[in-house]
Amino acid sequence: MSELTTVARPYAKAAFDFAVEAKAIDAWHEMLTFAAEVSKDATITEYISGGASVEQATDLFLKVCDVQLDSNGQNLIKVMAENQRLLVLPQVLTQFSELKAEFEKEISVDVTSAVKLKVAQQKVISAALEKRLARKVKLNCSVDKNVVSGLVIKAGDMVIDGSVRGKLNRLATTIQS
């Protein structure tokens, strides 16, 4: 997996730099999302990795993508096909999305609670996290009955465990030490 990430990084960086320069970050994100989905298709994957020539793979890929890619997106696909890298498009998308989030000062935060959070609660959590992280926050809320009560918040490598389950675990660890 890390090898694919390493291979994908220069393509994602080049696409992102171009998108920033062209002021078309969202358009590029859409193009890469579509192309990544096409590359995940079993038939396309088999065709690309099955020994088809670079020209054939490029033609098929561009025909499937059709109007979803502009001329610059098509050029990226051609370069990746020449280097036999079309299968790393999902990783390129992931890297591009990370660069986009960093550029837009946005962070995705996972919030786990014992019960479904109300919209007002989500707004309060979002506002508090935006203030603390100095970024625009996108909440991904989920329910886990094992939390018991409270919240578990994960933003990047930061974890805030305010759940009763977490407090009980910390208490048990302290007692055992």
In sequence order, what are the residues at sequence separation of 6 or more whose Cβ sits closer than 8 angstroms to the Cβ of residue 16?
A: 25, 28, 96, 99, 100, 103
What are the pLDDT tens digits along the chain (177 aa)?
A: 567 778 888 888 998 999 889 888 889 999 989 988 888 888 778 877 777 677 887 888 888 888 888 888 888 888 888 888 888 889 999 999 989 888 888 888 999 998 899 999 999 999 999 998 888 888 999 998 888 888 999 987 889 888 888 888 889 999 997
Residue 121's pLDDT is 92
Do residues 115 and 160 both lie within one domain?
Answer: yes
Q: What CATH code is carried by the domain that includes residue 122?
A: 3.40.30
Do residues 148 and 161 both lie within one domain?
Answer: yes
87 contacts 122 by C-beta, under 8 angstroms = no
Domain ranges, residue 50: 2-102
Which residue from 174, 172, 148 is spatially nearest to 161, judged by alpha carbons? 148
Quick one: CA dihedral 156, 158, 164, 166, positive or negative? Answer: positive
Residue 2's pLDDT is 64
Mapped onto helix, strand or coil, the DSSP state of residue 65 is: helix
Do residues 113 and 160 both lie within one domain?
Answer: yes
Q: Give the Cα separation of 71 and 134 in Å (integer).
A: 37
Q: Give the Cα separation of 8 and 96 in Å (integer).
A: 9
Mapped onto helix, strand or coil, the DSSP state of residue 146 is: helix
Last residue of a domain, one of 102, 124, 151: 102
Quick one: CA dihedral 154, 158, 161, 166, positive or negative? Answer: positive
Which amino acid would we find at residue 140? N
